[in-house]
Amino acid sequence: MAKKITGPQLILANRLDDGRAVFLTAAGAWSKQVAEAAVANSEEELTGLLSVAQAAEVSNQVVSVTPVAADVSGDAVAPAHIKFAMQSKGPSVRSDLGYQVSPNWE
């Protein structure tokens, strides 16, 4: 049985073309920058974000839509769990080759 996440949450998924981790923004777009992620602070907000994300999954924009607990500190937001934090940062082996090398890397 899945553990219910409480507190602030964001939506994480993967792009279909390259598998990169992306975050759902308040505008309903997908961003590779976690700082642009929409943060849900209530069950209603999370339900709204999930409906947008699941529609994007059905239309094959993304896969593996996942609500993720968020650490929010002022304007900074990050996935709370180490698994999702690592996923959002890119490969942890040969970090000189992954998308964490440059913010403009595609």
Q: What's the pLDDT tens digit per position in 67-78?
A: 999 989 888 888
> 35: which DSSP letter?
G
Domain residue limits, the chain: 9-89
Q: Which segments in the chain show pLDDT lower than 70?
A: 1-5, 89-106
Q: What is the pTM of this model?
A: 0.79
- Residue 29 near residue 15, CB atoms below 8 Å: no
User: Which tens digits make up the pLDDT trace of 33-50?
Assistant: 999 999 999 999 999 999
DSSP H stretches of helix in the chain? 43-58, 82-89
pLDDT at 1: 44
Region of 68 on the Ramachandran plot (φ > 0 left; ψ -120 to 50 alpha; else beta): beta
